[in-house]
Structure 1
């Protein structure tokens, strides 16, 4: 945990978990209703009957509050994936990410324009929301190197996390093309694995039927 995150966590310890959840829910509702610009410290305070000073004391800035709310609204997508093989890890990451795409995409879309326009929000999201998923994908690749599944100097390694997360973010633009788990699976098998020099073993098919006794 970073120094800033640890300090923020210490501040938030003064609120009960229930009260904190109520504040986060208000932020998420405002994001859904009008995007990032509709979220204000005054608006959150009024909706939750909380003092504005409390919000500033706990989170310091609006970007930190919004980022904390987004982080709470989602669960880590990739951090618990460890199937024992790089192929299995990337395919499972594709499956899990696709299953959550609608919920996550809606919230990220609400702050996408602000992400470009506000460096402080961008930095907060990178630290709290994006960095853990990048680290989890990098860990999958690290385990693959340790198992001898791919070369440590493969230049494609550094592009896997950006490409994977980029696919999830751009799917709203190419909705029909990037809409489901099957397409994400093809992306892993046809793009990522060949770039990494990994050839997946064919998955076992159904057992052949036993010949009928005569």
Structure 2
């Protein structure tokens, strides 16, 4: 994983960057209902959370602006790749953070799920609320599987915080389609609504591709 410095004085979003950097709360978020009918039908016993997380991370990494971060000195860097840091629940109801790696090709789905299971087991045994490695390189992920919500607010560390937050809730059937509330929160200094829209478009594509891939795998078994 590498990163490069972005000169925002020469970046097309330089003006927006300077404008939103003056705000005490530049965070913006949107929740969109996402259809997961085909994914659920293709899982065949595979874990839903890690499967859906896989598509979310691929969709997010395809948007360079979502991989941009603010450094303490005010510079902006862009990572070539970001991995998820997500919460899992211990038996007592408290959460711990899990950090999982994501490879590039679609065949890495199995590796991602296996790695996710291993990391979750290790983290639950360790039982501490800590994050590994370069935290700026993470996408922060949370799930509220008990509620189908229409709005949610994620905590952020202020104007200098820059890790995008991803969240989703409980899925339910609506007119024969399985729908899931999917939320994305961004520091507006680093990206705009257009980039958020690209994420959701990417997510629809990734869901379709993974569903087709898993369907083929099921037929070959």
- Scaled by the length of structure 1, what TM-score is found? 0.32
Give the structure, 1 or 2, with the largest relative contact order (CA under 8 Å, sep 6 or more). Answer: 2
Q: Whose strand proportion is higher, 1 or 2?
A: 2
